[in-house]
């Protein structure tokens, strides 16, 4: 009996010690990252919470002209009409920036964020990766989108990505089995994060163990691991970390005003960026990327991204890509090369990240809108946010 009691006390003591160690380590930070009382601050401190690689600001910063004005906007969605302020509060907005005709007409930050805050992108990073693929093709580092990804990333041979054309991966149509359910702790996306963030497993190890569930190019199926594979492709093709590639090909030419940071799986030179996630930048610098695509890849007379690539990236070219249909039944939004493409007359396209992150581009209105948020109801808000962006565009 005494021995059992001693063992029980020892076990409880070990649990207490482990709990203290966990609380004092990065593991506790990861486990509590999305807690309601922490996530607002965490979303603007990702580069401090996790290992990251800097993306240095330009030596020749570009600044938007300013022509601020009040936006008298009423947003009608789901049978309700709200003011802009009501909508921003409802969607737990941390920042909203509206650029019209190359002028900032509206800029507000909330919940402790400022115009200098590095706000995390979540999946908006995917659109930056797409741009880098286009540049790598133009530079001759990648032959074309029809080449199998395993021509460049040999460690994926034998996986579900073996022989899959780069184009199908850009279109989230790799055919690889991967569960993107954020609400399930046992989903692939959460296991992938846990293995990397908590156990220290290299993020690039996860795709090598995945298998195909259908032929590639057969069906749109949004899975973040596809973008990680594009990141692997870029590193192999260019011989450069993603952050350094972004700095050289996008950040410097666009005159970005602030250093950005891209979260990596490990510290130091061995770290790999999360290609599908977690770029951290200011509202204005995100807006410059939107402006680049608004102008067809041209930046004040300098060709940064090939015009053909920009056009190709935002026009869905298969019926299942023109409407997200089965995947998002209530959406009237399609998909192409890591960009979301709403159905409408203005030629709009968007980069979207979970928890309410957006870069919205409206060519007909010559407008870019950037919105960041910490919205727990983000799954149900994308069409409402699109309605808000359209209302802003019509009123500006």
**In this predicted structure, what is the pLDDT of residue 36?**
87
Fold category of 41-395 in CATH: Beta-lactamase (3.40.710)
| CB burial readout 327-366, b (16+ within 10 A) else e | ebeebebbbbbbbbbbeeeeebbbbbbbbbbbbbbbbebb
The structural domains of the chain, with segments of one domain joined by +, span 2-31, 41-395
**In this predicted structure, what is the pLDDT of residue 121?**
98
Show the tokens assigned to 132. 């880098």
Could you give the maximum distance between any two Cα atoms of the chain, in Å?
83
**Tens-binned pLDDT, residue by residue, of the chain (396 aa):** 444 444 444 443 433 333 333 444 467 777 788 888 899 999 999 999 999 999 999 999 999 999 999 999 999 999 999 999 999 999 999 999 999 999 999 999 999 999 999 999 999 999 999 999 999 999 999 999 999 999 999 999 999 999 999 999 999 999 999 999 988 889 999 999 889 988 889 999 999 999 999 999 999 999 999 999 999 999 999 999 999 999 999 999 999 999 999 999 999 989 999 999 999 999 999 999 999 999 999 999 999 999 999 999 999 999 999 875 565 667 789 999 999 999 999 999 999 999 999 999 999 999 999 999 999 998 889 999 999 999 999 998
Burial label for 170, CB within 10 Å (0-12, 13-18, 19+), is: buried
Least Cα distance to 177 among 115, 243, 221 occurs for: 221
């Amino acid at each position: 009996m005494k021995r059992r009691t001693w063992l029980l006390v020892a076990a409880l003591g070990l649990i207490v010690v482990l709990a203290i160690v966990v609380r004092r380590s990065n593991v506790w930070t990861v486990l509590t990252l999305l807690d309601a009382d922490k996530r607002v601050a965490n979303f603007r401190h990702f580069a401090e919470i996790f290992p990251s690689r800097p993306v240095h600001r330009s030596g020749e910063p570009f600044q938007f002209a300013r022509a601020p004005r009040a936006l008298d906007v009423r947003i009608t969605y789901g049978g309700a009409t709200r003011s802009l302020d009501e909508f921003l509060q409802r969607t737990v907005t941390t920042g909203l920036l509206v650029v019209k005709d190359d002028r900032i007409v509206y800029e507000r930050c909330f919940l402790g964020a400022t115009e200098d805050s590095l706000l995390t992108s979540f999946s908006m990073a995917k659109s930056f990766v797409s741009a880098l693929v286009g540049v790598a093709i133009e530079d001759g580092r990648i032959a074309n989108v029809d080449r199998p990804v395993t021509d460049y990333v040999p460690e994926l041979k034998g996986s579900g990505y073996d022989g899959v054309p780069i184009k199908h991966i850009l279109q989230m149509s790799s055919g690889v089995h991967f569960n993107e359910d954020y609400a399930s702790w046992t989903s692939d996306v959460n296991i992938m994060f846990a293995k990397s963030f908590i156990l220290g497993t290299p993020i690039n190890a996860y795709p090598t163990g995945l298998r195909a569930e259908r032929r590639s190019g057969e069906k749109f199926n949004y899975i973040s691991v596809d973008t990680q594979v594009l990141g692997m492709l870029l590193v192999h093709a260019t011989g450069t970390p993603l952050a350094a590639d972004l700095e050289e090909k996008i950040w410097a030419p666009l005159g970005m005003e602030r250093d950005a940071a891209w979260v990596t799986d490990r510290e130091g030179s061995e770290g790999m960026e999360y290609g599908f996630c977690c770029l951290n930048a200011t509202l204005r610098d995100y807006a410059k990327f939107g402006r680049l695509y608004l102008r067809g890849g041209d930046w004040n007379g300098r060709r940064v991204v090939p015009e053909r690539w920009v056009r190709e990236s935002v026009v869905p070219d298969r019926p299942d890509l023109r409407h997200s249909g089965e995947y998002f039944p209530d959406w009237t939004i399609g998909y192409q090369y890591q960009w979301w493409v709403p159905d409408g007359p203005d030629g709009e396209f968007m980069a979207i990240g979970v928890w309410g992150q957006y870069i919205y581009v409206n060519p007909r209105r010559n407008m870019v809108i950037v919105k960041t948020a910490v919205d727990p109801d983000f799954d149900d808000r994308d069409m409402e946010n699109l309605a808000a962006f359209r209302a802003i565009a019509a009123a500006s």
